[in-house]
Amino acid sequence: MSLRTTILAAALIGAQTACGGSSGPPASSSTTACKSLKVGTESASLTVTDTPTAGFSLPINAQPVGIVRDRDGVSVWLLATGLDRVIHVDASGMATSYQLPRSGLGIQLSQGSDGTVWVPEQFRDAVVSIAPDGSAQECTLPRKNSEPMATSVGSDGSVWVSEGRGEAVARLDQGHFTEYPIGPPAAKGAEVLAGSDGGAWFSVMGAQELGHITKDGKIDRISLGGSTSYLGLLETPDGAVWVADFGGDRIVRLAKDRTMLTWSAPSGAKPQGLALGPAGVVWVTESGIDRIASVRGSALVEGYKTGSWPDHLAITTDGWAWFTEYNQDRLGRVLLPAT
């Protein structure tokens, strides 16, 4: 069983819930949560591959999942969960790896406007920051067994963290965590996305919902129907939020006025990662059928064949879609159409 399968199997506790508010008061850490962490650094040129797309081979057992575009616009950062490494890769295949302690990395990482990368460590109940100079800090969540799954940096520099077992969303600000219970008990945090409104959106496993938290901690839960396993999140310039219904083979778009549109993927597609491409086109990884697809009007159009289990994707400013291939220890990429 792969790490990705293990994560999902542990989190999928079926429960159906309606919209509602926060289930309890926030809990705050009383001491500074962060301390310096020594990480190993190594640079190497990755081997170029061309099957089934252009790309690069990653180290054996890398098991890559989350990926984000670097602030330079043309390189990417990714999580090599099988090796507990964070890897930065440029367009030539030159890679810098940061070796973390044994930690069982989560689903998705993020980068702040200052270039600092934030990484979830599931089994250390912490997140790690890697600064542009390579120095690292580890920030420990207030509760044990919270299993942080994803991070997202807000415009104010605070860091939002989804908890896979803590049944909460945490916010790290000025070295201190505040945790907000997401309720209901069956809902496990999956991914999180800092919103343009200063709050954050979070997807869940174990409930048919999308969650939103305001900057001051008020939580709203929005019923989406479909399955009880939601993953990838994307906010587009029009303020709409897109969600990948991993278990229901759907893409969901929630407009600012809470109007909902859905697109059906092929049976077993298991959509995960979402990204905005050229001409405002939304692209999605279909992990179960080894493809990436795009939303075109009322249709979800099958696009490119990938290697085994495309997990997440990031689209660089030069029009390339980069995607992690979990089962092949590979980083693939394709040049997207301009329209």
Looking at the chain, list the stretches that DSSP marks H as alpha helix, in order from N- to C-terminal side: 3-11
Q: Which domain holds residue 213?
A: 3-335
pLDDT of residue 32: 74
Which of 123, 150, 125, 149 lies closest to 139 in space, CA to CA?
A: 125
Q: Say what the pLDDT of residue 185 is.
A: 75
H or E element, residue 64: strand 64-69
CATH of the domain at 21: 2.130.10.10
Only one residue has tokens 């994560």, namely: 7
Closest by Cα among 84, 46, 68 to 116: 68
φ and ψ at residue 76, rounded to 5 degrees: -135, 160
Angle at CA 318, nearest 5°, toward 314 and 324? 25
* Residue-level pLDDT at 20: 41
Please report the pLDDT score of residue 278 as a whole number: 97
Work out the end-to-end distance of the chain between its first and last CA atoms, rounded to an integer number of angstroms: 39
How far from 110 is each of 161, 174, 214, 218, CA to CA, in Å? 10, 18, 19, 23
What is the pLDDT, as a whole number, of residue 19? Answer: 33
Buried-state track 141-150, b at ≥16 Cβ within 10 A, e below 16:
bbbeebbbbb
Residue 229's beta-bridge partner residues?
Answer: 205
The three-class DSSP label of residue 4 is: helix
pLDDT at 49: 97
pLDDT for residue 166? 81
CB 293 within 8 A of CB 303: yes
Residue 225 pairs in a beta bridge with: none
Nearest C-alpha neighbor of 259 from the set 211, 299, 224, 294: 224
39-44 own/partner pairs: CB under 8 Å, 24+ apart:
39/98, 39/99, 39/100, 39/128, 39/130, 39/134, 39/136, 40/98, 40/99, 41/96, 41/97, 41/98, 41/99, 41/134, 42/96, 42/97, 42/99, 43/94, 43/95, 43/96, 43/97, 44/94, 44/95, 44/97
pLDDT at 186: 79
Question: What's the average pLDDT block by block, 10 residues per block, for the chain (339 residues)?
Answer: 41 32 56 90 97 97 98 98 98 98 96 98 97 97 94 97 92 95 85 96 95 94 95 97 98 97 98 98 98 97 97 98 98 97
Task: Check residue 25 and give its pLDDT.
Answer: 60
Q: How many CA atoms lie within 13 A of 105 on its CB side?
A: 28
Q: Count CB atoms within 10 A of the CB of residue 125.
A: 20
- Count the domains in the chain: 1
The span from the CA of 138 to the CA of 121, in Å, is 9
